[in-house]
Amino acid sequence: MSLELYRRKRSFDKTREPEPGKPLPGGRRALFVVQLHHASRRHYDFRLQVGDALKSWAVPKGPSYDPAVKRMAVEVEDHPVEYAGFEGHIPKGQYGGGHVARFDHGVWSTHGDPEEQLAKGHLRFELFGDKLKGGWHLVRSGKPARQPQWLLFKDKDAYAGTLEADDLLGDVAAPPAADARRAGGGKPARRKLAALPRRPGRKRDWARLAAALPDARKAAAPDGPFRPQLARLGQAPPDGGHWLHEIKWDGYRILATVREGQVRLWSRNAIEWTGRIPDIRAAVEALGLRSAALDGELIAGAGTRDDFNLLQATLSGERNGTLAYVLFDLLHLDGIDLAGAPLLERKALLERLLDANPGHLAYSSHIQGDGDAAYRMAGEQDFEGIISKRADRPHVAGRSDDWRKTKQLASDEFAVVGYTAPKGSRSGFGSLLLARPDPEHGWRYAGRVGSGFNDVLMGEVTARLQGGVRQPSVHVAATDTDLRSARWFAPRFVVEVFYRGIGGQGLLRQPSLKAVRGDKGIHALADTDQAEAPMHATRGGKKATKKVTRSAAPEKTAKKAVRKAAKKTPKKTPKKTPRADATCPLPTLSSPSKVLFPDTGTTKQDVWDYYRAVAAHLLPEIAGRPLSIIRCPSGTAKACFFQKHHTAGLELVSLVQLKEESGNNADYLVVEDEAGLMELVQFNALEFHPWGAHAHAPDVADRVVFDLDPGPDVPFAEVRKAAADIRRILADLELESFLRASGGKGLHVVVPLNPGCDWGLTKRFAHGFADALAASEPHRFLATASKRLRNKRIFVDYLRNGRGATAVASYSLRARPGAPVAMPLSWSELPRLAKAGAFTIDSALARLKRRRKDPWEGIERVRQDLARWAQQE
């Protein structure tokens, strides 16, 4: 319903209700409000902001905290967002005449598009109010009615209980007696405000655990924000086993402090954000700590580059995304100062603290010693880059060489020092003039940015560009005719800009706005002393040298030690970690009710039960092979991460030491039995991706995998046809192949090799096969990974056929909506397959129960290799 219906029902010269049409204030989250309305019938009005309006329902009995109680909610007309602040009397004779009092208000969020969910008839959401908290559902009723009827009920979460809305009226304004009698009969008894629901935290002696860390000491709780540690920008990840490498989350740096149980949240430059992100405040409160200092990044979605826009839109109220706080450092815990402890020790304690995974908190995992692999993985998953940190060092406030960042696409922060006039149909401004600190001139002109703005951002930025003079306010060493009519002012605010290198005059090449950094002030740029300037030119630009004033001796010494260690031949036999007894009992499952797939409600217990049921089928696919996993500690809707190295805490999973491309040796995960598999499930592993080789012979490939990845608008029928064609061509080469539905978008064609082949030959075969296919039918196939070129074509992904590359295992879950499963198929099933994600955690088990024969039966007995192809090469 539009606001026009709201307008038609009211006479605004007779009622104080807000009239639609006022522009929404910027910079606030999507809100909800619940109002107690004594009209012709007493009821609660339940309203959720979706875009520029409040979706509204009349709930006669009000919300209940009991998940078994489903309250009728009658959908009514949309209301303007300003209505959330309305209280008081609607005159008799006007629509809804009677008394309105605000019962509760706050912000709300949901996974996915709320309008799509409402259209489908089921909205799952979270409320962050003073009285209404946690997860809720609105489900459309199938009963015919004049107005759409829904059911409002509580999710089964930690807040669920027996409270009713009427139990929480102690602070709600009472209606006039006449309104009360008309609406419900008699004067309502005033009730004492019942105890509000609180999420229980785990009881553990964190002070004792914190005090056991090296160089920990007793200290008072933090009083206000602390100075965070910052990273320098580099071109490549540093080498050495003393470095750990984390995802560079694309969000806002947030510092959390707890003092006497009270949580406060701060931006990097000490601006308080506690009121802006109540969902994160509630999640930190749920840890039940007396005092703490936590460091992390506020993200939306998975925290990739593409999710940054969702984060900004959520914080501004344009969208209703779910936020998460990804934590990567712990500096104080229950009276113990941990800043002096080594980072690796601090992170291990942080991971234990977050083991229960309270909602909206996530642990930022890491890869130790293999920065190249971490950087490659970050690029494959569309993250901005990685942060490399010295694992053995204490916390050092400010910027230092102990933290390094390596970005996939160059971006940097600049001060806005002016603007050019708009051209054509554009209004406001043409482009922003940018500057960066300069040791000689104070500030130096760096270029201008005019792309990357939407209409809302254009309006907000234009409002900040008042004034200015013709004379440049910074040093300008470049020639740019458009600057003759520009307006200049002193550095005013900070923006972050993507760019593709530095031009000959020192100006940014192809800049595009990434964000207006309201969380950072001008002093944040000035304090860097150019520390964040790239050490080398970024890709696409001319090489530029830069002197970096720092000691290189420790780094050179470390590199020599790594090169010396790399000359030793690594052992290839998987090493068993110590176990309690020979029977290898399964690990204990923790947090069984934690929801890992929010769209289906699939819990950790469901995932555990699934992997127990398919273990006999999955283990032949992964046992004895180096393994990569995808872990989702807070569920698939939040940050997941990739892991391939063995880490502390794994007791039932084996490891194999392998040499990596960097020359370093690293301990890789190897699962040998069901106990090891289930230990990884307990560690929130959802996906299993094995090598195409065994751990005892890592240089011998025994599988070739062609992943058919369709571009947009490619019908699945075309993917099926492509798989059948590839099978036929392989058969012409006397190679038998097998079929797998990936659980994602495409299909896998798998070629077993027995005896195996070296990786060089295997990779040449896979690449050559894909190139030949693309050359023969360029309108159907593509052999390059560029997404830009993939439209209406199928990328034949041969990149999974190199040493260290992986492909998802048959029977593995996928960390995607719907809990899909990668499923092996017989070729006879291909014509009937509807989509690559046709099998889910539920239907996969049903399929196994009725299946008479394994479609991949005998794959291990197929004897074939690439010798025939190599002879033709």
The residue ranges of every structural domain in the chain are: 3-184, 206-405, 411-526, 564-690, 700-872
52-61, 130-139, 146-155, 404-413: range with lowest mean pLDDT: 404-413
Q: What is the pLDDT of residues 621-665, one digit of tens each?
A: 999 999 999 998 888 887 777 888 887 678 889 989 898 766 677
Helix 604-622 with 674-682: angle, nearest 10 deg:
140
Tokens of 526: 């000035």
Tokens of 706: 């062609």
Other residues' Cβ atoms within 10 Å of the Cβ of residue 639: 27
For the domain covering 411-526, report its CATH number.
2.40.50.140
Quick check: helix, strand or coil at residue 766?
helix
Mean pLDDT calculated for residue range 236-265: 93
CA atoms of 674 and 579, how far apart (whole Å):
14
For position 640, what pLDDT does the model report? 79
For position 402, what pLDDT does the model report? 95
CA atoms of 629 and 686, how far apart (whole Å):
7
Is a pLDDT exceeding 90 seen at residue 750? yes
For position 712, what pLDDT does the model report? 83
Quick check: helix, strand or coil at residue 318?
coil
Q: Catalytic site residue 787?
A: no
Res. 27 pLDDT band, cuts 50 70 90: low
What single letter denotes the amino acid at residue 309?
Answer: N
Q: What does DSSP assign to residue 284?
A: H
For position 836, what pLDDT does the model report? 94
Q: Do domains 206-405 and 564-690 have the same CATH topology?
A: no
Q: What is the pLDDT of residues 293-326, one digit of tens each?
A: 999 999 998 888 778 888 988 888 878 888 999 9
For position 526, what pLDDT does the model report? 63
Torsion angles phi and psi, residue 523, rounded to 5: -60, -25
Other residues' Cβ atoms within 10 Å of the Cβ of residue 16: 12
Q: What is the pTM of this model?
A: 0.56
CA atoms of 873 and 869, how far apart (whole Å):
6
Q: What is the pLDDT of residues 668-719, one digit of tens each?
A: 999 999 999 999 999 899 999 999 999 999 999 999 999 999 988 899 999 9
What single letter denotes the amino acid at residue 182?
Answer: R
For position 784, what pLDDT does the model report? 80
For position 531, what pLDDT does the model report? 39
Q: What is the pLDDT of residues 158-193, one digit of tens each?
A: 889 999 999 999 889 888 888 888 776 444 444 445
Label residue 540 left, alpha or beta by phi (over 0 means left) and psi (-120 to 50 means alpha).
left
323-333/336-337 β-pairing: antiparallel
Better pLDDT: 572 or 371: 371
Torsion angles phi and psi, residue 133, rounded to 5: -140, 160
For position 643, what pLDDT does the model report? 87
Res. 512 pLDDT band, cuts 50 70 90: confident
Mean pLDDT calculated for residue range 789-804: 87
Q: What does DSSP assign to residue 503?
A: -
Is a pLDDT exceeding 90 seen at residue 259? yes
Tally the C-alpha atoms within 13 A of residue 265's C-alpha that lie toward its C-beta.
22
Tokens of 105: 């208000």
Q: Among 413-427, 470-484, 552-566, 833-847, which range has the highest average pLDDT?
A: 833-847
Looking at the domain covering 700-872, what would its CATH class be? alpha beta
Cα distance from N-terminal residue to C-terminal residue, the chain: 66
What single letter denotes the amino acid at residue 683?
Answer: F
Other residues' Cβ atoms within 10 Å of the Cβ of residue 575: 13
Q: Domain 206-405 is of which CATH architecture?
A: 2-Layer Sandwich (3.30)
Res. 200 pLDDT band, cuts 50 70 90: low
Percent residues over pLDDT 90 in the chain:
58
Q: What is the pLDDT of residues 562-592, one digit of tens each?
A: 233 233 333 344 444 333 333 457 888 888 8
For position 868, what pLDDT does the model report? 67
Closest by CA position to 24, among listed 456, 426, 314:
456
CA atoms of 448 and 513, how far apart (whole Å):
10
For position 548, what pLDDT does the model report? 26
Mean pLDDT calculated for residue range 469-483: 83
Torsion angles phi and psi, residue 731, rounded to 5: -65, -35
Q: Among 55-69, 298-312, 793-807, which range has the highest average pLDDT?
A: 55-69
Strands (E), 213-273: 217-218, 229-234, 243-247, 252-259, 262-267
Better pLDDT: 96 or 661: 96
Tokens of 473: 């306010």
335 with 293: CB under 8 angstroms?
no
Is a pLDDT exceeding 80 seen at residue 378? yes
383 with 305: CB under 8 angstroms?
yes
Closest by CA position to 401, among listed 565, 240, 226:
240
Closest by CA position to 236, among listed 382, 413, 386, 377:
386
For position 524, what pLDDT does the model report? 75
Q: Average model confidence (pLDDT) for the chain?
A: 85
Tally the C-alpha atoms within 13 A of residue 364's C-alpha that lie toward its C-beta.
29
What residue has token string 């499952």?
A: 589
In the set 248, 405, 407, 763, the catalytic residue is: 248
Looking at the domain covering 564-690, what would its CATH class be? alpha beta
What are the residues facing 515 on neighbouring strands?
496
